[in-house]
Structure 1
Amino acid sequence: MGALSNLRVLDLTQVLAGPYCTMLLADMGADVVKIERPGGDLIRSNPPFVDDPEEEAFGGYFQSVNRGKRSIELDFGDEADREDFLSLVEEADIVVENYRAGTMEKYDLGYETLTEYNPQLIYSSIRGFGDPRTGETDRQGQPSFDLIAQALGGVMEITGQEDGPPTKTGPGVGDLFTATLNCIGILAAVNHREQTGEGQYVDTGMYDSMISFTERAIYQQSYTGEAPSRQGNSHPTLFPYDAFETADGYAVIAAFNDKHWADLCDAMDRDDLAEEFPTMPERLANRDGLREEIADWSADVATDELVDSLEGRVPAAPVQTTEEIFADEHIHARDMLVPVEQPGADTEVEIAGNPIKMSETTPQPRGRAPLLDEHREEILGEEAETTADD
């Protein structure tokens, strides 16, 4: 029994942001009913596959963010399917969708309509540019993806090497961070409803979320009047706080307070640097030359040796590949790799676990992602039973 096992979520989302949000809710125990359009979520067919895309029901993309959900296929253009959806809304706690603004209204299934069927409903949307209900702009209705959000929100401008082009982050933070914030908003709305009996609309825009995500750049612009830009793996106000090439890879070192700096210099056998640059302002003023000194030292030291020499004294870590992550005992002890069935393949696969740990109701993935329309009879049968009971 998860912490949210009393909640039913109708999940109309697809691709990444919405499914990640509802995945978090499912991991925490909510009954998430994934309502898929005819043909299913667009990413069901996305690779990678274990072996044979023709035999396997879905790829890793879909599996990762739709685990533990139930699926029903509905066509909102069909009157019977629309009625089935509205019957589910009457008993639901939360509806989540990530269509363009106005899409649900085309089917007369917008927030205002659904609350006629369930006044306590929490209706949540994830859009590129938010919803007119919470602040209207001329961008609403435009399509948006992670790349668009990162570009507009300033993430790309401050990511990458100083002499290189703007670069998006590896993970899709435009989707994932927005989804996480949306999940927080939903849970806040649930708490508000517990106190007042009132449902409400929750709206999270990807562009808005990237402004929150780049918070440092926002205050830098305000305080200094200058637009921050790319500076590789370094930090604008801390030094050393960077990645350094080693004899066999890369390691990161975060030795920005005075004691960390002295301990780093000791490991480098360069007490002269500790004595010459004892304070942060002095180190920041001479960061280019000091970075070269550290880089010269690290280039001759194996990654593990470098990290071991600093362990317990200076924050440092290897830059790991996913292969190394899979071999890390810490990851297994923390249940951060979860095996699930891969339909159509004679094997299990592993997906990322849930980082939220709780003493009584620890979130955990509850099995594989659903087959398309796998739970139609189960879900509509439950609804028929509820109606009969009423």
Structure 2
Amino acid sequence: MGALSDLRVLDLTQVLAGPYCTMLLADMGADVVKVERPGGDLIRSNPPFVDDPDEEPYGGYFQSVNRGKRSIELDLGSEAGRETFLDLVETADVVVENYRAGTMESFDLSYEHLLDRNPELIYASIRGFGDPRTGETDRQGQPAFDIIAQALGGVMEITGEADGTPMKVGPGIGDLFTATLNCIGILGAVHHRDRTGEGQYVDTAMYDSMISMTERAIYLQSYEGEPPTRCGNAHPTLFPYNAFEVEDGYVVVSAFGTNHWRRFCEAIDRPDLAADYPTPADRLADRDVLYDELAAWMREHETADVIDRLEGDVPVAPVQNTEDIFSDSHVHDRDMLYEVDQPGTDESVHIAGSAIKMTETNPEPRSRAPLLDEHRDELLAELAAQDRAIRE
């Protein structure tokens, strides 16, 4: 049994933020029912594919964040689709959606309407700019994607080289971090409901989440009175904390603490630097000169040599690509690569595992992502059994 195996979640989300949130719940054992619009989640047809999609497109993007869910296709614009959805709501614990504000109201399926069918329901939304119920703004109703949230929330302004253009972070953190916060909010609401019997509305905005993530930029603005900007792989208040080019790639070093700094200097045969720059303030004051000194040494050594000298005494790591990750024993020992079947083929594929580890109810994918409408018959049978039980 998973930690959340007593929860049923109705997942009305698509693309990345919402599906990632409900995937976290599914990994922890929740019964997640993916309620898909006619034609299914927009991202079903997004590549890559194992083979050319003949009948039903089912790409890696969809597979990665929809594992362990059941699928039913419903047209919420039709009376029959709405009624089936409302029947599902009666025994659900959580509804999650990531439509624009007002969309569920257009289906006559607002939070307040759903409460009439299930007063203890927890209703969660993920939107670019939040929901009016938790704070109305003039941005609500605007479309938003990851790059929009990263731009508005200050992430891009502090990411990239000092003399370069603003740069978004590679993974879609505008979606993923928002999804994670929404999941936390849902679990908090479940705990509150278990104590009080009260459901509630959980709202997480992508813009808000990026401000939360860029917390350093917020306090720097407040303390210093100037907006922080890009500084590459460096840290605005710590040194050394950076990436260095070596003969065969790049390594990162985080030796800003005095104990680590001394060990670092000893390991690279430069004890004079430890003596000349004994305090963090000393190192920050001459960070450009020091960086050049360290970078010159690094360029004359290979990754293995640097790691051998520093690992265990100084925080250090090679900059890895995914081939390196797939060959790292740590990744396999921690079950961070999950193998799942690829429908329509005899092959299996790997997707990222769960970083949440628990000793008694360890999260794990229960199955591959569903085909569109794959579980209609069993879900309708469950509703019929539920109706019979109520009548009896």
What TM-score comes out, normalization by structure 1 length?
0.99
Q: Residue 92 of structure 1 corresponds to which residue in structure 2?
A: 92
Paired AA for residue 164 in structure 1: G
Q: Residue 47 of structure 1 corresponds to which residue in structure 2?
A: 47
In the aligned structure 2, how far is the partner of 1:57 from the partner of 1:142?
A: 29
In the aligned structure 2, how far is the partner of 1:260 from the partner of 1:3?
A: 40
Q: Residue 380 of structure 1: SS of its match in structure 2?
A: helix
Residue-pair matches, total: 390
The answer to whether the Cα contact below 8 Å between 2:268 and 2:309 also exists between their aligned partners in 1 is no
Q: Residue 105 of structure 2 corresponds to which residue in structure 1?
A: 105
Deviation, structure 1 residue 56: 6.2
Structure 1 position 138 matched with structure 2 position 138: yes
Q: 1:217-268 CA distances to partner (integer Å, 9 max, x unpaired)? A: 0000001101000000000111000000000000000000111111111111
Deviation, structure 1 residue 346: 2.1
**Change beyond 3 A, Cα 1:56–1:377:** closer
Paired AA for residue 198 in structure 1: E
Q: Residue 301 of structure 2 corresponds to which residue in structure 1?
A: 301
Q: Residue 4 of structure 1 corresponds to which residue in structure 2?
A: 4
Q: Residue 166 of structure 2: SS of its match in structure 1?
A: coil
Q: Residue 279 of structure 1 corresponds to which residue in structure 2?
A: 279
Q: Residue 27 of structure 1 corresponds to which residue in structure 2?
A: 27
Structure 1 position 343 matched with structure 2 position 327: no
Q: Residue 263 of structure 1: SS of its match in structure 2?
A: helix
Q: Residue 38 of structure 1 corresponds to which residue in structure 2?
A: 38
Deviation, structure 1 residue 288: 0.2
Structure 1 position 232 matched with structure 2 position 238: no
Q: Residue 64 of structure 1 corresponds to which residue in structure 2?
A: 64
Paired AA for residue 297 in structure 1: W
Q: 1:84-121 CA distances to partner (integer Å, 9 max, x unpaired)? A: 00000011000000000000000110100000000000
Q: Residue 258 of structure 2 corresponds to which residue in structure 1?
A: 258
Q: Residue 349 of structure 1: SS of its match in structure 2?
A: strand
Q: 1:13-41 CA distances to partner (integer Å, 9 max, x unpaired)? A: 00000000000000000000000000000
The answer to whether the Cα contact below 8 Å between 1:67 and 1:368 also exists between their aligned partners in 2 is yes
In the aligned structure 1, how far is the partner of 2:308 from the partner of 2:61?
A: 36
Q: Residue 340 of structure 1: SS of its match in structure 2?
A: strand
Structure 1 position 368 matched with structure 2 position 368: yes
Q: Residue 329 of structure 1 corresponds to which residue in structure 2?
A: 329
Q: Residue 108 of structure 2: SS of its match in structure 1?
A: coil
Worse-matched range after superposition: 42-51 or 327-336: 42-51
Paired AA for residue 188 in structure 2: A
Q: Residue 380 of structure 1 corresponds to which residue in structure 2?
A: 380
The answer to whether the Cα contact below 8 Å between 2:262 and 2:274 also exists between their aligned partners in 1 is yes
Q: Residue 312 of structure 1 corresponds to which residue in structure 2?
A: 312
Paired AA for residue 77 in structure 1: G
Q: Residue 9 of structure 1: SS of its match in structure 2?
A: strand
Q: Residue 153 of structure 1 corresponds to which residue in structure 2?
A: 153
The answer to whether the Cα contact below 8 Å between 1:57 and 1:344 also exists between their aligned partners in 2 is no
Deviation, structure 1 residue 339: 0.2
Structure 1 position 172 matched with structure 2 position 194: no
Paired AA for residue 109 in structure 2: L
Q: Residue 251 of structure 1: SS of its match in structure 2?
A: strand
Q: Residue 119 of structure 2: SS of its match in structure 1?
A: coil
In the aligned structure 2, how far is the partner of 1:118 from the partner of 1:294?
A: 63
Greater than 4 Å deviation, 4+ residue runs = none
In the aligned structure 2, how far is the partner of 1:300 from the partner of 1:193?
A: 60
Gaps in structure 1 of 5+ consecutive residues: none
Q: Residue 80 of structure 1 corresponds to which residue in structure 2?
A: 80
Deviation, structure 1 residue 78: 1.1
Worse-matched range after superposition: 261-270 or 98-107: 261-270
In the aligned structure 2, how far is the partner of 1:312 from the partner of 1:348?
A: 37
Q: Residue 20 of structure 1: SS of its match in structure 2?
A: helix
In the aligned structure 1, how far is the partner of 2:215 from the partner of 2:179?
A: 17
Deviation, structure 1 residue 55: 5.5
Paired AA for residue 130 in structure 1: G
The answer to whether the Cα contact below 8 Å between 2:34 and 2:71 also exists between their aligned partners in 1 is yes
**What is the root-mean-square deviation of aligned Cα atoms in Å?**
0.7
Paired AA for residue 164 in structure 2: G
Structure 1 position 288 matched with structure 2 position 288: yes
The answer to whether the Cα contact below 8 Å between 1:56 and 1:343 also exists between their aligned partners in 2 is no
In the aligned structure 2, how far is the partner of 1:21 from the partner of 1:124?
A: 10
The answer to whether the Cα contact below 8 Å between 2:49 and 2:59 also exists between their aligned partners in 1 is yes
In the aligned structure 2, how far is the partner of 1:381 from the partner of 1:185?
A: 31
The answer to whether the Cα contact below 8 Å between 1:57 and 1:371 also exists between their aligned partners in 2 is no
The answer to whether the Cα contact below 8 Å between 1:4 and 1:30 also exists between their aligned partners in 2 is yes
The answer to whether the Cα contact below 8 Å between 2:44 and 2:58 also exists between their aligned partners in 1 is yes
Q: Residue 80 of structure 2: SS of its match in structure 1?
A: helix
Q: Residue 244 of structure 2 corresponds to which residue in structure 1?
A: 244
What TM-score comes out, normalization by structure 2 length?
0.99
Q: Residue 34 of structure 2: SS of its match in structure 1?
A: strand
The answer to whether the Cα contact below 8 Å between 2:22 and 2:183 also exists between their aligned partners in 1 is yes
The answer to whether the Cα contact below 8 Å between 2:160 and 2:166 also exists between their aligned partners in 1 is yes
Paired AA for residue 333 in structure 2: A
In the aligned structure 2, how far is the partner of 1:240 from the partner of 1:55?
A: 54
Paired AA for residue 107 in structure 1: F
Gaps in structure 2 of 5+ consecutive residues: none
Deviation, structure 1 residue 356: 0.4
The answer to whether the Cα contact below 8 Å between 2:250 and 2:318 also exists between their aligned partners in 1 is yes
Worse-matched range after superposition: 261-270 or 18-27: 261-270
In the aligned structure 2, how far is the partner of 1:88 from the partner of 1:72?
A: 11
